[in-house]
Amino acid sequence: MIANRLLRALRDGLKSIVRNGWMSFASVNAVALSMLILGLFYLLVSNINHFTSTVEDQVEMKVYMELTAGEQETKQLEERLRNDPAVKEVQFIPKEKGLEQFTASLGERGQLLEGLKEENPLPDAFLVRTYEPQQIAPLAEQLKRLETVRNVNYGQEYVDKLLSFTDAVRWVGLILVALLAVTAVFLISNTIRITIFSRRQEIEIMKLVGATNWFVRGPFLVEGILLGVFGALIPALLLGIGYSVMVDKSQATLAMYSIELLPVYPLTLQLTGILLLFGACIGGGGSWISVSRFLRV
Amino acid sequence: MIDLFDVWKTYPNGSHALRGVNLSIKHGEFVYLVGPSGAGKSTLIKLMYREEKPTKGQIFFDGFNLSRIKEREIPKIRRKIGVVFQDFKLLHRLTVYENVSFALEVVDTPKSRIKKRVEQVLEQVQLLHKKERYPSELSGGEQQRVSLARALANKPSVIIADEPTGNLDPDTSWDIMQLFVEINRQGTTVVMATHNKEIVNTIRKRVVAVEDGRIVRDEQRGEYGYDR
Are A23 and A66 members of one domain? no
Mutant choice from A6, A208, A214, A296 vs B, greatest count of B C-beta within 10 A? A208
What average pLDDT does the segment A80-94 reach? 82
Mutant choice from B89, B146, B152 vs A, greatest count of A C-beta within 10 A? B89
| A8 contacts B105? CB cut-off 8 A | yes
| B106 contacts A215? CB cut-off 8 A | yes
Question: Do A133 and A140 meet the contact criterion of CB atoms below 8 Å apart?
Answer: no
Cis peptide before B110 (omega within 30 of 0): no
| B89 contacts A208? CB cut-off 8 A | yes
Topology of domain B26-53+78-219, per CATH? Rossmann fold (3.40.50)
In angstroms, what separates the C-alpha of A220 from chain B's closest C-alpha?
Answer: 14
Most confident of A94-98, A217-221, A256-260, B138-142: B138-142
Measured CA to CA in angstroms, residue B40 lies from A80, B14, B18, B22, B190 at distances of: 92, 14, 6, 13, 18
**If pLDDT is split at 50, 70 and 90, which confidence band does A155 have?**
confident
Distance of alpha carbon A217 from alpha carbon A231, whole angstroms: 21
**pTM score of the predicted model:** 0.68
Are A181 and A284 members of one domain? yes
Select from A135, A153, A171 the last residue of a domain. Answer: A153
Are A44 and A172 members of one domain? yes
pLDDT number for residue B44: 94
What average pLDDT does the segment A182-199 reach? 78
Question: Do B146 and B96 meet the contact criterion of CB atoms below 8 Å apart?
Answer: yes
Are A224 and A197 members of one domain? yes
Strands A61-65 and A125-130: antiparallel
Tell whether A201 lies on the interface with B, counting CB pairs under 8 A.
yes
Between residues B72 and A116, the one the model is more confident about: B72
Instruction: Name residues whose C-beta falls within 8 Å of residue A261's C-beta, 6 or more positions apart in sequence.
Output: A47, A50, A246, A247, A250, A251, A254
Are A20 and A48 members of one domain? yes
List of chain B residues with pLDDT < 70? 228
Give me the residues paired with residue B168 across strands.
none
What is the rounded (10 degree) CA torsion for B36, B42, B44, B45?
130
Q: Is the pLDDT of residue A214 over 90?
A: no
Distance of alpha carbon A73 from alpha carbon A95, whole angstroms: 15
In angstroms, what separates the C-alpha of B77 from chain A's closest C-alpha?
Answer: 7
How many C-beta neighbours within 10 Å does residue B11 have?
11
Question: Do B121 and B100 meet the contact criterion of CB atoms below 8 Å apart?
Answer: yes
Mark out the alpha helices in chain A (DSSP H runs): 2-19, 21-57, 71-83, 95-106, 136-144, 156-197, 200-208, 213-256, 264-294
How many C-beta neighbours within 10 Å does residue B125 have?
23
Distance of alpha carbon A169 from alpha carbon A44, whole angstroms: 11
Give me the residues paired with residue A152 across strands.
A63
pLDDT, tens digit, for every residue of A1-32? 677 778 878 887 888 788 777 878 888 888 88
The distance from CA A173 to its chain's CA centroid, rounded to whole angstroms, is: 9
Question: Do B34 and B11 meet the contact criterion of CB atoms below 8 Å apart?
Answer: no
Question: Do B37 and B58 meet the contact criterion of CB atoms below 8 Å apart?
Answer: no
End-to-end CA separation in angstroms for chain B: 30
Nearest to A201 among B49, B76, B89 (CB): B89
pLDDT, tens digit, for every residue of A26-41? 888 888 888 888 888 8
Instruction: Name residues whose C-beta falls within 8 Å of residue B73's C-beta, 6 or more positions apart in sequence.
Output: B64
Select from A153, A175, A208 the last residue of a domain. Answer: A153
Between residues A91 and B24, the one the model is more confident about: B24
Are A215 and A172 members of one domain? yes
Nearest to B78 among A1, A4, A208 (CB): A208
Distance of alpha carbon B193 from alpha carbon B204, whole angstroms: 14
Beta-carbon-side half-sphere exposure of residue A268 (alpha carbons within 13 Å): 18
- A111 class by beta-carbon count within 10 Å (0-12 exposed, 13-18 middle, 19+ buried): exposed
Domain count, chain A: 2
pLDDT number for residue A1: 66
- Strand order of the β-sheet with B158-162 is B81-85, B158-162, B189-193, B30-34, B206-211, B214-219
In angstroms, what separates the C-alpha of A30 from chain B's closest C-alpha?
Answer: 24
What average pLDDT does the segment A141-156 reach? 79
Are A176 and A94 members of one domain? no
How many C-beta neighbours within 10 Å does residue A96 have?
12
Domain boundaries, chain B: 26-53+78-219
SS3 A87: strand
Tell whether B107 lies on the interface with A, counting CB pairs under 8 A.
yes
Are A64 and A49 members of one domain? no
The residue segments making up the domain with residue A88 are 60-153
Are A168 and A51 members of one domain? yes
The mean pLDDT value of chain A amounts to: 82
State the DSSP H helix or E strand holding residue B151, giving kind and residue range, or none if neither. Answer: helix B140-152
Between residues A187 and B7, the one the model is more confident about: B7
Select from A153, A178, A203 the last residue of a domain. Answer: A153
Beta-carbon-side half-sphere exposure of residue A71 (alpha carbons within 13 Å): 0
Strands B30-34 and B206-211: parallel
How many C-beta neighbours within 10 Å does residue A97 have?
14
Q: What is the DSSP secondary structure assignment for residue A147, as one 8-state letter?
A: T
Distance of alpha carbon B128 from alpha carbon B96, whole angstroms: 9
A145-159, A265-279, B209-223 — which is least confidently predicted? Answer: A145-159
CATH, residue A84: 3.30.70.3040
Are A97 and A236 members of one domain? no
How many C-beta neighbours within 10 Å does residue A107 have?
8
Quote ipTM for the complex: 0.83
Question: Do B135 and B92 meet the contact criterion of CB atoms below 8 Å apart?
Answer: yes
Give me the residues paired with residue B59 across strands.
B4
pLDDT number for residue A117: 67
pLDDT number for residue B116: 94
Question: Do A263 and A257 meet the contact criterion of CB atoms below 8 Å apart?
Answer: no
pLDDT number for residue A131: 83
